[in-house]
Structure 1
Amino acid sequence: MIPIVDEGLGNSAYLVDLGDGRALAVDASRDLREMRAEADRRGLRVAFAAETHLHADFLTGAIELAATDGARIVASASGGRTFDHVGLRDGDEVDLGGLVLWAWETPGHTGEHLAYLLLDGNRVLGVFTGGSLIVGAAARTDLAGPEHTEPLALAQYHSLRRLMALPDETAIWPSHGAGSFCSASPGAERTSTIGKEKISNPLLQLGDEETFVRRFLDSLGSFPPYFRRLAEINRGGPGLVGRARLEPLSAVHVLALLGDGAVLVDVRPAAAFAARHIPGAISIPLRPQFASWLGWLLDLDTTIVIVRDRDQDADEIVWQALKIGYESMAGELAEPWPGDLETIPMIAPGQIGDQAVLDVRQDGEYVSGHIPGAVHVELGELPGAPVPDEPFVVMCGHGERAMTAASLLARTGHRRLRVLNGGPEDWAKATGRQLEQGA
């Protein structure tokens, strides 16, 4: 069992060596670089690609695996997928050649969700739980629309009870994990067992349907708007990826694209953006979370021009965009910018003093501890939010999201902005003052 972990999206795919040169891939992402490297290292060809559900947070790589490796795609028969696949219903089995994949309907995270038990004869080796049961939690049920949220939460309750009937030693291999906006406990392990979850998963301690649904719905936070669109793209099957590269663009070409509505995305570190950047550029530093914030802040059909440092990986930028469906990457600025540049100062935690603070972290982060008096607007809600044009120190947990927020505000005319280089704990340490908790 080889987990393929995407730290940025908080997800895990799995590669299973079937022992005869063939492999099973479960919930593979469109970005197959690591999965292919692991398969090549072991001399494996992916013969089966299993999907637990219609993913909303990334595009499936199963289509690509079918085209390149001849993989046989298996997925829920009730998912309405329009590409070639084997539709499975509750109790159906797939012979992997020695091992068997047994489909269990486990609706909740999505209506067509399947879990897969991996069997060796009569012995259950483990279960691919997708988003039905994840370590310390269960995945959110509000991605199909508000009218489905509560019924799916009720279905999630019953799916969890079904999985809990498995032997305690059964390994669970979830698709969603820590860092996923599909809801996972921060810092949670990627895999677990049924027995461990019975003891440690708070949702499994709630004995009745009504309490479970109420507590579960109260725990749901915000999620990127692109989640609303990817499930339908996955239903039809994303297109095959051709040559994935950033085309070099002249400054004149970039100016023309900007005039037609393109957006400059500056992926350099926050400190580099602070020192000098092209007016109107949005700062989204290249890191594992780049795709999430790109998807949160820009529409899927936005034409994007990249600004990067020469030592930053161009392929990583393109693949992070492609895995969440961003196909309109025009290229990158390949020569010095001929116009004026702007700055946004960064300050140390001890320099805030009595200045007004704008905290752009997620609700849960803010509630757990913030600078007293800080104004709170989640970064994802910032475009269009009525933020007054006042002097603000913008802050997050470290500085990257704060610089993104400051760049968005600068695009709308805010000029009296500074960004905190650090987070609330750094401020508390520097000042000796206590953080405030609660909303």
Structure 2
Amino acid sequence: MSFADDHLIALVDEGLGNSAYLVDLGDGRSLAVDAGRDLRTLHAAADRRGLHVVYAADTHLHADFLSGATQLAHDHHATVLASAAGQRMFEHLGLADGDEVDLGGLTLRVLATPGHTDEHLSFLLLDGGRELGVFTGGSLIVNSAARTDLLGQERTEELARAQYHSLKRLTELPDATAVWPTHGAGSFCSAPPGTERTTTIGDQKQANPLLAAPDEDTFVRQLTASLGTYPAYFDRLSEVNRRGPAVLATAPRLPALTPSQVSALLADSGHVVDIRPAADYAAGHIPGALSIALRAQFATWLGWLLPDNTRIAFVTGEDQDLDEIVWQAYKIGYERLAGRLAGGMTTWQEAGLPTTTTPFLTPDQTPAAPYLDVRQEAEYAAGHVAGALHFELGTLADHASEAPAGAVVACGHGERAMTAASILERAGHTDLTVLKGSPGEYAAAHGQRLTESGTR
């Protein structure tokens, strides 16, 4: 049995595409690496093994989630391990290249691996002189590397060159060394997103296309060419993490709101987010509500589409997990949560307040109409309906006036398309249809073939 099988627990956030790690150090002690603010899964894993978190290590100033390190320091009196160059404004053990931390039987050696961020560290876990594995955060990830444009376009190439040297340094480790990245499949910090969560140095030498680049310039071209867009909240969170996310004394809750309170919030420039499944939203919703179905990707779209300084009320369906709403919002720094509509749409309708509907149709039911594709650029390039108008969902609000009348709004399945329709409805489009299905299904139903290779 390997060390990872017996002593390491990977805690995967499928929505953000990230992994945190809990390392069993023995004697009831543990190390947490890149833990997020939503610590429910970590606490459950620690409780199952009877572990107490004594160290909380962060590989870098995260842009896509709030760190749980300050909370672990408060709850467990854990020592926070992080880069001294990050200039964090809370108590921590500042580390630099070559430093070592005695974990009591195991050793954590610090490797400076800038690129994703300036102060990025990787943590090499040693048992005596044997390399067990390396926590690579946002440097080397499975078959890729993390993006280098989060500190501004003007520094993208500079950081990509730093990333090249960081990856080369990591590949000098023995081939059998396990690689435990933070960013993975589904993470907008990946460039491009990987598919697996963990790997080894030897496997990456064989499989990672960036490591096959013959020289630094080629590496930089390949990495920067793969960079897509990322959520707007990424530009805010690294500074919040540098200051230290606020410690929560108790788990946050969503108060119950009356229809009149929700109506007043909307009138006062607040936002209503309807988290019900797309079909439920389509059947009847509050005019002006933003549809973001509660699923793994909820936090990403909440942070992409709404500012963090506005009050938000939620419309929920039966049996939806209110704690999940709160923690998805809090883990990306959205804390101005006014509450949720008590009784859902039933109480809204009973109060005599207005509702509206949105046609949600299968491909064979959709009319012949302009086709608006709101998927990410890479998805669109891989195959799209001929003649489609394309705007990524994250940019759609800026292009609402360009949406054609009577459009069929589409994504990969329907959830993002319903979100897009709710954005367009707020901008005055009231004649939209949302596709319940994929571009391929639509094309087949209308006797078409998908256009590939990015041609429009």
- TM-score normalized by the length of structure 2: 0.95
| CA distance in structure 2 between the partners assigned to 1:97 and 1:68 by the alignment | 21
Q: For residue 258 of structure 1, report the CA deviation from its aligned partner.
A: 1.6
Contact kept? 1:15, 1:23, Cα under 8 Å: yes
Contact kept? 1:83, 1:237, Cα under 8 Å: yes
| Aligned twin of 2:265 | 257
| Aligned twin of 2:4 | none
Contact kept? 1:176, 1:184, Cα under 8 Å: no
The answer as to 2:442 corresponding to 1:427 is: yes
Q: For residue 388 of structure 1, report the CA deviation from its aligned partner.
A: 3.6
Q: For residue 351 of structure 1, report the CA deviation from its aligned partner.
A: 3.0
Deviations 1:356-413 (A, max 9, x none): 1000000000000001111000000001213245110000001000000000000010
| Aligned twin of 2:303 | 295
Deviates more, 1:35-44 or 1:327-336: 327-336
Aligned-partner residue type, residue 18 of structure 1: L
| Aligned twin of 1:42 | 49
Deviates more, 1:228-237 or 1:240-249: 240-249
Runs of 4+ with deviation above 4 angstroms: 184-187
The answer as to 2:128 corresponding to 1:114 is: no
Q: What secondary structure is seen at the aligned counterpart in 2 of 1:305?
A: strand
Deviates more, 1:347-356 or 1:106-115: 347-356
| CA distance in structure 1 between the partners assigned to 2:447 and 2:127 by the alignment | 58
1:91-102 to 2 correspondences below 5 Å:
91-102=98-109
Q: Select 1:323's aligned residue among 315, 325, 331.
A: 331
| CA distance in structure 1 between the partners assigned to 2:195 and 2:171 by the alignment | 19
The answer as to 2:185 corresponding to 1:178 is: yes
Contact kept? 1:350, 1:427, Cα under 8 Å: yes
| CA distance in structure 2 between the partners assigned to 1:353 and 1:391 by the alignment | 9
Deviations 1:105-126 (A, max 9, x none): 0000000000000000000000
Aligned-partner residue type, residue 347 of structure 1: L
Q: What secondary structure is seen at the aligned counterpart in 2 of 1:222?
A: coil
| Aligned twin of 1:155 | 162
Q: For residue 431 of structure 1, report the CA deviation from its aligned partner.
A: 4.5
Aligned-partner residue type, residue 391 of structure 2: V
| CA distance in structure 2 between the partners assigned to 1:59 and 1:361 by the alignment | 26
| CA distance in structure 1 between the partners assigned to 2:327 and 2:191 by the alignment | 24
| Aligned twin of 2:432 | 417
| Aligned twin of 1:345 | 359
| Aligned twin of 1:90 | 97
| CA distance in structure 1 between the partners assigned to 2:257 and 2:312 by the alignment | 12
Q: For residue 147 of structure 1, report the CA deviation from its aligned partner.
A: 2.0
Q: Structure 2: where are the runs of 5+ without partners?
A: 1-7
Contact kept? 1:168, 1:193, Cα under 8 Å: yes
Deviates more, 1:409-418 or 1:242-251: 242-251
Q: For residue 181 of structure 1, report the CA deviation from its aligned partner.
A: 0.4
1:216-255 to 2 correspondences below 5 Å:
216-241=223-248, 242-255=250-263
Q: What secondary structure is seen at the aligned counterpart in 2 of 1:223?
A: coil
Aligned-partner residue type, residue 393 of structure 2: L
Percent identical pairs in the alignment equals: 61
| CA distance in structure 2 between the partners assigned to 1:436 and 1:344 by the alignment | 28
Aligned-partner residue type, residue 357 of structure 1: Y
The answer as to 2:181 corresponding to 1:166 is: no
| Aligned twin of 1:382 | 396
Q: For residue 433 of structure 1, report the CA deviation from its aligned partner.
A: 3.2
The answer as to 2:312 corresponding to 1:304 is: yes
| Aligned twin of 1:210 | 217
Q: What secondary structure is seen at the aligned counterpart in 1 of 2:293?
A: coil
Aligned-partner residue type, residue 263 of structure 2: L
| Aligned twin of 1:283 | 291
Q: What secondary structure is seen at the aligned counterpart in 1 of 2:211?
A: helix
Contact kept? 2:135, 2:179, Cα under 8 Å: yes
Aligned-partner residue type, residue 408 of structure 1: I
Q: What secondary structure is seen at the aligned counterpart in 1 of 2:151?
A: coil
Q: Select 2:88's aligned residue among 61, 81, 84.
A: 81
The answer as to 2:62 corresponding to 1:55 is: yes
The CA RMSD over aligned residues, in Å, is: 1.1
Contact kept? 2:191, 2:227, Cα under 8 Å: no
Counting matched residue pairs gives 439
Contact kept? 1:178, 1:185, Cα under 8 Å: no
| Aligned twin of 1:266 | 274
Q: For residue 149 of structure 1, report the CA deviation from its aligned partner.
A: 1.1
Q: For residue 185 of structure 1, report the CA deviation from its aligned partner.
A: 4.9
Q: For residue 218 of structure 1, report the CA deviation from its aligned partner.
A: 1.0
| CA distance in structure 2 between the partners assigned to 1:97 and 1:15 by the alignment | 16
Q: What secondary structure is seen at the aligned counterpart in 2 of 1:203?
A: coil
| CA distance in structure 1 between the partners assigned to 2:231 and 2:157 by the alignment | 20
Aligned-partner residue type, residue 371 of structure 2: V
| CA distance in structure 2 between the partners assigned to 1:147 and 1:76 by the alignment | 24
| CA distance in structure 1 between the partners assigned to 2:341 and 2:180 by the alignment | 42
Q: What secondary structure is seen at the aligned counterpart in 2 of 1:225?
A: coil
Q: For residue 237 of structure 1, report the CA deviation from its aligned partner.
A: 0.2
| CA distance in structure 2 between the partners assigned to 1:352 and 1:277 by the alignment | 21
Q: Select 1:354's aligned residue among 368, 380, 383.
A: 368
Q: What secondary structure is seen at the aligned counterpart in 1 of 2:73?
A: helix
| CA distance in structure 2 between the partners assigned to 1:408 and 1:414 by the alignment | 9
Deviations 1:285-329 (A, max 9, x none): 000000000000001111100000021000000000000000101
Q: What secondary structure is seen at the aligned counterpart in 2 of 1:205?
A: coil
Q: For residue 11 of structure 1, report the CA deviation from its aligned partner.
A: 0.2
The 1:186/1:352 distance shift into structure 2, 3 A limit, reads: farther
The answer as to 2:384 corresponding to 1:370 is: yes
| Aligned twin of 2:5 | none
Q: What secondary structure is seen at the aligned counterpart in 2 of 1:172?
A: strand
Contact kept? 1:393, 1:419, Cα under 8 Å: yes
| CA distance in structure 2 between the partners assigned to 1:388 and 1:30 by the alignment | 38
Contact kept? 2:291, 2:418, Cα under 8 Å: yes
